[in-house]
Structure 1
Amino acid sequence: MANIIFYLRGTKEPKKVYLRYRPNRDFNLSINTPFVIHSENWDDTTKQWDHSQIVKGAKTIETKKQNAEILDFNKRIETFKLDISNQIDNNLNLTAPQLKEHLKDFILKHYFAHKLETKKKYTIPDKLDALIDYYIQFRSVEDKTQGKKPISANTIKKYRGLKSTLMKFNKNLIVTDINNIFRNKLVKWFNEQGYTAQTQTKYLKDIKMLCRFAETEHNISKDVLAWKIDRNPDNVTKGLYLNFDKLAILETLDLTGSLDEVRDWLLISCYTALRVSELFSLDTANIVEDPNGRKFIKVIEKKNRNTKDKGIKYTALLPKVVDIMSKRGGKFPKVISEPYYNRQLKKLCKIAGFDEVVQSAKIEATENGNRRIEGEYPFYELVTSHIGRQTSVTLFGQFMDTETMQMMTNHHDKTLLEHYNKIDIDTKQLQKAKKVYEAFKNMNITPEQLN
């Protein structure tokens, strides 16, 4: 709960009550409240009407009325304090000036509604940087009537990244100027700056979404609304996964200390398809066992916390995972930070001898900032925490149907699931042909009988 205080301000009686919110030296917010009170009635310790003025056992109408007035004032100011605290807690991403405007608007609507101008209209900004800020604030509010949860911190970070990038391209960009010509110029600039196809796709999708959002108040070009954007462009890091031979090598490596912990976390991720954020939140207290002795663990997916199922899913603990846990008395390995995990993964794979040269891409510093640079690199240099999930989809996708794999990864979109499958196109197509062959076999018909 945000720590706010009330104080009196002014020279005339009754004085106005102001609130102050100052979480640190660089953030100082002071704003008028709807309350006024005489100085003699104000308790500067409790920041309320002096409770000692309440007459105990009041018998006269006058004293009873005064008691009721004191209690009502204190109740209203406490409710107000709670409302403002909640508004602050729900908008921690705002700067002091932005928060002040937000609170002034909230107070005006909820405590001075009779003073609102009925014709006043709050419009969606047309300047793109302001539009992004407005959208973040707008979508940070939960709307239960539409089943919409507030956007996550990662989503906010993504939109701020988009804003920063677009401001480098054009600081004065107006949403009504966005059309096919704009897209062509932007993509050309993206290419010059070394942005990957995946990054360009994400940015264009978000720009189109923002234009749709602004369409209710601005004349958006029909070009934008008709934009076609490849949802899954060629991935320059294709082919990076651990095959069964590599998994066997990892399992038999003689390791100790942190490398042993990292190896086991990697194997667990390969056999569960969990994201690293969920991997390091695994808790043995959430393990359940069915009557057949099969074990499952409840996981909360941070990425999907704001979805209808609140990010809850159960993951099967395969015998391989249970065996790994048995090394530590049924417990998971020690939790480590994601940056450290990524560094140690490279070291682990180098020790394992995974040094074959791979045509792929990795992030390197350039004159335009950090960019993915295509080239030939040793396998171990390219390994990140994503390889566990990619390995699961690539290896087990050969034996499971798409629907079952979606259950394992909790992907709602088959296209997104396919993004994690790193088998080359030729092998994928051959696998499809084999499935067709098996389908004929199950029908007791062989291709030879069709001659």
Structure 2
Amino acid sequence: MRLTFYVDRPDSQASVLMLNIAFRGQRLRFGTGISIVPAWWNHDKQQIRTSDPLQNANQKRLDAITTYVTELYNGLNFGSRSKALSEDDVESFRTKVLDYLSPDFESKQKKGFYDFYQDFIDTYTLRTRNGLITTKRPSDSTIAHHQSVLTGLESYATNTRRPISFSTIDETFYQGFCEYLANERGLFDNSISNYIKSLKTFMKWSQEKGLHQNLQYLRFHRNKKDGETIALTESELRTLRDMDFNDNLRIDLTRDRHLLQTFTALRYDDLIKLRPHHFDESAGVIRFSTQKTEQDVVIPIIPPLKALLAKYPSRTFEWVSNVKQNLYLKELGQLAGLNAKVTIRRSRLGERVEIERPKHELLTTHVARRTYVTLSATYGVQDAAIGAVLGHAPVSIQDIHYKKFEEATLVPMFCTAWEKF
């Protein structure tokens, strides 16, 4: 038997220390429950360096694991070539190691795949871009999406009569689930990709908690290519702005939220976190830290935004959920006469599909940012400057070190451009 500890993610700022056990053609991997800075692990000596503040406690745990696994292996007589090694033997060995590494393993076993997925939804916290675990919970819309994925998995298992457990998450499941989402739920590839993203996040979370050692989910492909989206034209945006909805407060507020999102280019999950202290009136900007890319952005208060804010001197707004806003936007678009047929192209299981819809049916919160980008570019604003306002993460060394825009440059650039609106 060969027993080796290794850092699961050596390029991260912190990572789980894993245990690899190899014997007679078998290879088993387990999480040790120890999180460590990779630089504190001496792989050659299989020891934790003294730079780790918990070096004594963590090293004692590794020594205890080594002793237990070695004694267990010797006691089962796996080393004897005269003894045939059955699948039951290996599974019994695996279960006992898991039981040792996770003292509440037996109670965990009473819970099923769906129970753990719900635990994930209820307790999961975000990581930084460097992989560090934080105490920050995902946005409400992300949590709702995870819940939809869980519902989709349960529906798939029921309709196809294919029970789901940690061990069944393999290539066959992946193909069947994607086909189910496409053919039975009518989802396109970009939406299916988001389902797979949620599932992979859960599988990683549950793996690190020692609930399984199934790594086949790492090979699941995500088609990240988005389908075509629409943007409002300058004329259509003016129509929305100028319409009188005083007799319909719900639609009036929907319109104002959409204009606010369009003129700030914030994602809706960020928009609903906008508070009065984010407005720096003297500098003519909004200062905000985006959730998705963790970027501090400076958003110029362009002329049409300034005119809208005059209606909200307290800088407080009434918010609704993303789902409700999307529903109300379609009603708003219909009232505004956005009825022209629009053809968009999407992909379903790799096949291109053309969809023709009235424009108001395609009106969502995503359209606001797309409209901001389209009109800003039309008015002559540089792509890099637009990206800075959107909070796009830098993708190259040039972006990180050279494409910097000072407020003194951004504010007049955007304000002058949007005077054309």
Give the TM-score normalised by structure 2.
Answer: 0.53
Supply the AA of the counterpart residue of 1:410: G
Cα distance in structure 2, aligned partners of 1:239 and 1:288: 32
What is the aligned-residue RMSD (CA, Å)?
4.1
- Partner residue, 1:316: 300
Q: Select 1:297's aligned residue among 281, 286, 290.
A: 286
- Partner residue, 1:242: 232
- Partner residue, 2:114: 129
Residue pair 2:262, 2:369 contacting (<8 A) in 1 also: yes
Q: How many residues align?
A: 275
Cα distance in structure 2, aligned partners of 1:274 and 1:141: 20
Q: Which has the larger radius of gyration?
A: 1
Pick closer, same or farther for the CA change 1:202–1:347 going to 2, 3 Å.
Answer: closer
- Partner residue, 2:364: 384
Structure 2 residue 157 is the aligned partner of structure 1 residue 165: no
Supply the AA of the counterpart residue of 1:318: I
Question: Can you list the C-alpha shifts for 1:377-423, whole angstroms capped at 9, x where unaligned?
Answer: 32123323332122113333564455433332224377xxxxxxxxx
Percent identity between matched residues is 18
Question: Can you list the C-alpha shifts for 1:212-235, whole angstroms capped at 9, x where unaligned?
Answer: 44446434254x3233322224x2
Per-residue deviation, 1:342: 4.6
DSSP 3-state at the match of 1:206: helix
DSSP 3-state at the match of 1:231: coil
Query: After the TM superposition, which residues 252-291 of structure 1 pair with which residues of structure 2 at under 5 Å, given as runs?
Result: 252-253=242-243, 256-257=246-247, 258=249, 261-280=253-272, 282-290=274-282
Cα distance in structure 2, aligned partners of 1:265 and 1:205: 29
Q: Select 1:209's aligned residue among 175, 180, 201.
A: 201
Per-residue deviation, 1:317: 0.9
Query: After the TM superposition, which residues 176-215 of structure 1 pair with which residues of structure 2 at under 5 Å, given as runs?
Result: 176-193=167-184, 194-215=186-207
Question: Can you list the C-alpha shifts for 1:6-60, whole angstroms capped at 9, x where unaligned?
Answer: xxxxxxxxxxxxxxxxxxxxxxxxxxxxxxxxxxxxxxxxxxxxxxxxxxxxxxx
DSSP 3-state at the match of 1:220: coil
Pick closer, same or farther for the CA change 1:219–1:325 going to 2, 3 Å.
Answer: closer
Pick closer, same or farther for the CA change 1:167–1:253 going to 2, 3 Å.
Answer: closer
Per-residue deviation, 1:273: 0.7
- Partner residue, 1:229: 222
- Partner residue, 2:138: 152
Residue pair 1:261, 1:333 contacting (<8 A) in 2 also: no
Residue pair 1:273, 1:389 contacting (<8 A) in 2 also: yes
- Partner residue, 1:409: 390
Cα distance in structure 2, aligned partners of 1:182 and 1:353: 45
DSSP 3-state at the match of 1:170: helix
Runs of 5+ unmatched residues, structure 1: 1-116, 363-372, 415-451
Per-residue deviation, 1:162: 2.0
Supply the AA of the counterpart residue of 2:389: M
Residue pair 2:126, 2:133 contacting (<8 A) in 1 also: no
